[in-house]
Amino acid sequence: MTRLQKIRHWFRGPTFRKKILPWLLILPILLIHLLVVIGPSLGAFYYSLTDWSGIGAADFIGLDNFRTLVEDTNFRKAFSNNMVWSAFFLTVPFVLALVVASLLAGLRRGAMFYRATIFLPYVLPSVITASIWSNLMNPRLGIGAQLAKLGIPFLNRAFLGNPDTVLLSVAFIDNWHFWGFLMVLFLAAMQNIPPDLYDSAKIDGANRFQEFWHVTIPGIRPTLLFMFMMIAIWSFLVFDYVWLLTQGGPAGASDVLGTFLFREAFNRFEAGYASAIGLTMSFFAILIIGLFGFLRRRGWEI
Amino acid sequence: MIKRIFKPQRQSSQVINYVVLTLALLFALGPLVVLGFNSVKSTAEAMANPLGPPREIHLENYPNAWVEGKLSTTVRNSAILVAGTVAGVLVLGGLAAFSLSRLDPPGSNLFMLYMLGGSTLPTFLFLVPLYSLWRILGLVDTLFGLVVIYIALNSPFAIFLLRSYMVQIPRDFEDAARVDGASEIQVLTKVILPLAWPGFLTVGLVTALGVWGEFQVALIFVHVPDLFPVTTSYWYFTTRYSRDWSLTSAGAIMMIAPVLIFFFSLQRQFIEGLTQGGLKA
């Protein structure tokens, strides 16, 4: 065999085909992940223990960043806002999506049309959604002001300018764009429920609400619980809508961990401190996944 | 397709369904209709009549917004970002998905677990050190640097979806090709690709949509106006022209027009692609 033939033989042989080629095909995307995600994530562990501006050398300061963090009133405010955000997103979109999906599942005609249109806001870029709604909530020109002209004054307030209403108003806007997504997921899950279950429920004389409660809800339970977990995690990562609409203001009233971290890292150049915040956010995500894993072990069938 | 799974109810009992669903529909569409109205009003009318239909049509808002919003530059930038990311995700994600679904690489479970776990990681965890790394590498304020990040962020979803399409293709097809002496690459391009193309279409659409509307990463990594994508540029545009709703609305309509056209012509792929993740449970 010539050298060339040997090489060719090796490329056609089992070692290359079964062991090397498979990983060779994965390698490019793996390298990108090492560069963009894995390397910098490991870096964040180290930098969270340093005083670092993001440029040049980092001074090792041990756990000081975390000590500062628990004392930081901005962090506490942002954290409690994230909790409010979670509470909102674990209830409001779920109720809306469940009600509308179950009504849509029972529809004779037009279901495709309703599904697509209700889903539509989900595909809009966040900058557009934020811009539309900040106009609609404008205290002088928005919906509230126009209703006031018609003699309905109770919506006529600066929703995004008032510390008492700002956080829930931003959540409302994010949810306007989000809940259709959840609705479509629930609808798809409902369509996998065997129809005979509804037939037997009818024979047993169940009304629509009983059907919903005893057949639909148990039928989509895996999707319901999975989305409960995902939304709990996503609630800690929110950034776009808060930054676009208020940048955390007025006076920190709508600040969340994402916007707090962004300011520390890119406006105040406290990259070490920001890494500590990022690590804390990841800790919450892992905590939530762990909690669901634990419940699953306990036989919750998640 | 929507299968009708419930026994059709009596006609009268459907009325409440339609009433509630139509309210939901109006909630979704109303703000977009107002946006469309405002995009053709004069600036003065948008202030005097900010919600109702226009009394006069001012189509010149569109060319004005195109120029003032520098859309010829930003649309080009966003198109480059979309094309680069979609190409990268389809090629690199497709290769990885092919390997994972067909060649069973030893130890691939670990990689899949990473892809699953990595996609729930807060992006802010790695964005801060990544920004410093990108500065050192000279990739801040470049479209290429942004494309690399977008490929990384979009690839877990792409690999999962493409893999699930490829797993469904019967092994007999490719075995026949191998018997005929095809290499693994030929198996991929001649057998798998033609059969899994709906998966590639879905991944391409979802990735394109995500990149077109991406804000957070672009905000951090690009500060040069000439390189702004449509999103960050539009945000600065609305802060600069916050009192000119007709102009900003026309800009918004132009920015979402491609999204709406693609969405309504390829609805099924969009909706199934975007909801795939949640259905995996």
Contact indicator for B246, B38 with CB cutoff of 8 Å:
yes
Mean pLDDT of chain A: 90
Q: pLDDT tens digit string along A9-35? A: 777 777 777 778 889 999 999 999 999
Contact A100 B126 (CB under 8 A): no
* Conformation bin of residue B104: beta by default, left when phi > 0, alpha when psi is -120 to 50: left
> Which residue do the tokens 């676009």 mark?
A244
With bands split at pLDDT 50, 70 and 90, how would you rate the model's confidence at B192? confident
Residues of B in contact with A44 (CB under 8 A): 125-126, 128-129
Q: pLDDT tens digit string along A153-179? A: 878 888 999 999 999 999 999 999 999
Contact A135 B149 (CB under 8 A): no
With bands split at pLDDT 50, 70 and 90, how would you rate the model's confidence at B279? very low
* Closest CB to B125 among A54, A146, A281: A281
* Closest CB to B17 among A47, A103, A195: A103
Residue A59 pLDDT > 60: yes
CA torsion, points A41, A42, A48, A51, in degrees to nearest 10? -110
Residues of A in contact with B123 (CB under 8 A): 237
Contact indicator for B96, B159 with CB cutoff of 8 Å:
yes
Q: What percent of chain A has pLDDT over 90?
A: 61
Encoded amino acid at B277, one letter: G
Q: How far apart are CA A187 and CA B3, in angstroms?
A: 10
Residues A104, A106, A110, A112, CA torsion sign: positive
Mean pLDDT of chain B: 89
Q: Which of residues 235-264 of B touch A (CB under 8 A)?
A: 235, 238, 245, 248, 252, 255-256, 259-260, 263-264
- pLDDT at res. B12: 53
Hey, which residues does A51 pair with through a beta bridge? A59
Question: Helix or strand or coil: residue A50?
Answer: strand
Residue B114 pLDDT > 90: no
Q: pLDDT tens digit string along B123-180? A: 999 999 999 999 999 999 999 999 999 999 999 999 989 998 898 888 888 888 888 8
Contact A29 B129 (CB under 8 A): no
Q: What is the mean pLDDT of residues B11-23?
A: 83
* Closest CB to B274 among A26, A36, A181: A181
* Conformation bin of residue B70: beta by default, left when phi > 0, alpha when psi is -120 to 50: left
B121 touches chain A (CB under 8 A): yes
Q: What is the CA radius of gyration of chain B?
A: 23
Q: pLDDT tens digit string along B202-257? A: 999 999 999 999 999 999 999 999 999 999 999 999 999 988 999 999 999 999 99
Q: What is the mean pLDDT of residues A227-237?
A: 91
Contact indicator for A222, A193 with CB cutoff of 8 Å:
no
Q: Which of residues 52-91 of B touch A (CB under 8 A)?
A: none
- pLDDT at res. B6: 52
Residue A296 pLDDT > 90: no
What is the interface pTM, i.e. ipTM, of the complex?
0.91
With bands split at pLDDT 50, 70 and 90, how would you rate the model's confidence at A51? very high
Query: Pick from B248, B25, B260, B55: which is nearest to A138 by CA?
Result: B248
- This prediction has a pTM of 0.92
**How close does chain A come to B79, measured CA to CA in Å?**
15
- pLDDT at res. B4: 52
Encoded amino acid at B70, one letter: K
Interface with chain A: mutation pick from B18, B124, B187, highest number of A CBs within 10 Å: B124
Return contacts of B34-41, CB within 8 angstroms, 24+ apart: B34/A132, B34/A136, B35/A132, B35/B249, B35/B252, B35/B253, B36/B249, B36/B253, B38/A135, B38/B245, B38/B246, B38/B249, B39/B246, B39/B249, B39/B250, B39/B252, B39/B253, B40/B246, B40/B250, B41/B245, B41/B246
How many CB atoms lie under 10 A from the CB of residue A39? Answer: 15
Residue of A nearest to B266 (CA): A116
Q: For residue A133, give both structure tokens.
A: 């709604």
Q: What is the mean pLDDT of residues A240-263?
A: 94
